[in-house]
Amino acid sequence: MNIDIITIFPEMFDGPFSESIIKRAVQKNLVNINIHNLRDYTTDKHHKVDDYPFGGGAGMVMMIEPIDRCISHLKSKREYDEVIFLSPDGQLLNQGISNAMSLKNNLIMLCGHYKGIDERIREHLVTMEISIGDYVLSGGELAAAVLTDSIVRLLPGVLGDETSALSDSFQDGLVSPPVYTRPRVYNDWEVPEVLLSGNDKLIREWRIQQATERTRKRRPGLFDQHQQDSLGEQ
């Protein structure tokens, strides 16, 4: 997989992409992540990529020309499945989207800044818009890092255990059940006996029950959707 990220702050990705799972995925050549400085694609001698909005108003707007030049340059090298703009009013990121994106080959992620980007970019260049939550960040870089992490960890060979991602929260419409490790007893706090029983069937049933109950209490909206989906499959 190739992920190309367009940004005016390329250094912001040094930390998230130089540690843990993403670092290992890059080292294994399971994903290529390329960071492109948008200022390299402007014709302005001061490397300016923003201007005042037509019609007045507060804030600056990212200009169409450098973004178009950057995307056109990338598209001259390969075909892209999606050009994704990280935006507060985009489609809310969920596990289903991450699953779908992990099956793609080439993605472009565009990080906005200031008051936003020229609307013509969204109309003619962007194919998909994604939000990571109903709040506003200073720019799209953190959102792009979150989206990238959620996709890369699903790629075959990235996680040590191929089945690990299948038990993540939201994969089956529920949050994950509680997990425990050694010691068996700590400060008189004990691990549930069923997990020590060695009975795979009982453990699996316990985990489903715990995941269902935890979802009902903590994420009632998600629980209701899961119930509707379950009825629809019957």
Residues 132-172: tens digit of each pLDDT: 999 999 999 999 999 999 999 999 999 876 555 655 556 67
What does each C-alpha distance from 120 to 62, 63, 64, 125, 144 come to in angstroms?
11, 10, 7, 8, 21
Contact 129, 87 (CB under 8 A): yes
* Orientation angle between helical segments 220-233 and 200-218, nearest 10 degrees: 120
Structure tokens, 27: 């080292």
Q: What is the mean pLDDT of residues 35-44?
A: 96
The pLDDT value given to residue 108: 98
Residues 135 and 180 in one domain: no
Residues 142 and 226 in one domain: no
Report which of residues 224 and 168 the model is more confident about. Answer: 224
Structure tokens, 143: 């959102």
Please tell me the total count of domains within the chain: 2
Q: Residue 226 pLDDT more than 80?
A: yes
Residues 91 and 193 in one domain: no
The pLDDT value given to residue 233: 72
Q: Among the listed ranges 43-52, 192-201, 223-232, which one has the minimum average pLDDT value?
A: 223-232
CATH number at residue 48: 3.40.1280.10
Q: Residue 220 pLDDT more than 90?
A: yes
The pLDDT value given to residue 167: 53
pLDDT range class, residue 184, cuts 50, 70, 90: very high
Q: What is the mean pLDDT of residues 174-186?
A: 94
Q: Among the listed ranges 25-39, 155-169, 172-186, 213-227, which one has the minimum average pLDDT value?
A: 155-169
User: Around Cβ 53, how many Cβ atoms within 10 Å?
Assistant: 15
Q: What is the mean pLDDT of residues 195-222?
A: 95
User: Around Cβ 75, how many Cβ atoms within 10 Å?
Assistant: 15
The pLDDT value given to residue 161: 63
Report yes or no on 164 lying in a domain.
no
Report yes or no on 177 lying in a domain.
yes
Contact 73, 40 (CB under 8 A): no
The pLDDT value given to residue 29: 97
Report yes or no on 23 lying in a domain.
yes
Residues 125 and 21 in one domain: yes
- Domain containing residue 111: 2-152
pLDDT range class, residue 231, cuts 50, 70, 90: confident
CA dihedral 226, 230, 233, 234 (to 10 degrees): -170
The pLDDT value given to residue 232: 76
Distance (Å, whole) CA 231 – CA 229: 5
- 189-190 and 185-186 as β-strands: parallel, antiparallel, unpaired? antiparallel
Residues 8 and 112 in one domain: yes
Distance (Å, whole) CA 36 – CA 211: 41
Q: Mean pLDDT for the chain?
A: 93
Report yes or no on 165 lying in a domain.
no
Contact 61, 52 (CB under 8 A): yes
pLDDT tens, position by position, 74-116: 999 999 999 999 999 999 999 999 999 999 999 999 999 988 9
Compute the chain's Rg from CA coordinates: 22
The pLDDT value given to residue 190: 97
What angle is formed at CA 47 by the lines to CA 45 and CA 53, rounded to 5 degrees? 105
CATH number at residue 222: 1.10.1270.20
The pLDDT value given to residue 230: 81
Extended beta strands in the chain, E state: 2-7, 32-37, 50-51, 61-62, 82-92, 106-111, 128-131, 185-186, 189-190
Report yes or no on 163 lying in a domain.
no
pTM score, whole prediction: 0.88
CA dihedral 75, 77, 82, 87 (to 10 degrees): -60
